[in-house]
Amino acid sequence: MHPTDCSKLISYLPPGMQRVFIGIPIDRQSQQHINELLKPIKDSRQDIRWMAEKNRHLTLAFLGNKTIAEVGNLLRLFDETYQQETHFQYRLASLSRFPGPTGRIIALSSEPTRPLDNLFQITSELLQRNKIEFDQKIFRPHITLGKIKRAKYVKTSFYQQTTISLDITKVTLYQSTLTDSGSIFSALKETQLKLAAADF
């Protein structure tokens, strides 16, 4: 965020705390495909608050408010945790309401594949090993794209099958900052996954 926007920050965090999560950023080509998929919906609906393109991600673990020391420990461990993992493609099966047919979130989602589930397990082990508490809900991979403003009055399912495949090449430790216009997600640390042998 630009320094002149600092007055717009909404501070709900105690001093020395950061609100963080671990996730996968969306590659540029997938962003373009998502934008094409959403354009007809955006043109016809005024009852959805859309997430900024730069904020789109696939969450591996939501950590919530953590001390500077805990975040610093994660920063030190990030590369050794992920840099030996191989990058891969992950297909998003459908666009729909999430977590169910009456949910207020519009998301792209699919079942976890073995490589994605492996990243999730590695992430969980990293946090458990270092006694860092995190949200341990069942892993349901999805990318939040928008939120319906008055979901209980909206009957549309928004369901569409898709062929969008993410190019998963990095894992990111994000900081979430609340502002008067919504949350801003910024990367504190990014670790590149290694290329597969066939890519050399």
- Per-domain boundaries in the chain: 19-194
CB-based contact 91:163 (threshold 8 Å): yes
Tell me the three state secondary structure of residue 155.
coil
Residue 168 CB neighbour total at 10 angstroms: 22
In the DSSP assignment, the letter for residue 193 is P
Identify whether 115 is preceded by a cis peptide bond (ω within 30 of 0).
Answer: no
Separation CA 183–CA 104 (nearest Å):
17
Classify each residue of 57-72 as buried b or exposed e, where b means 16 or more C-beta atoms within 10 Å of its C-beta. bbbbbbbeebeeebbe
Give the residues of the chain that fall short of pLDDT 50: 1-11, 200
Q: Which pLDDT does position 7 carry in this prediction?
A: 37
pTM equals 0.89
Cα distance between residue 173 and residue 182, in whole Å: 19
Architecture of domain 19-194: Alpha-Beta Complex (3.90)
Query: What's the confidence (pLDDT) of residue 198?
Result: 59
Q: How much is the pLDDT for 145?
A: 98
Relative to beta strand 170-179, strand 182-192 is: antiparallel
Residue 9 pLDDT: 45
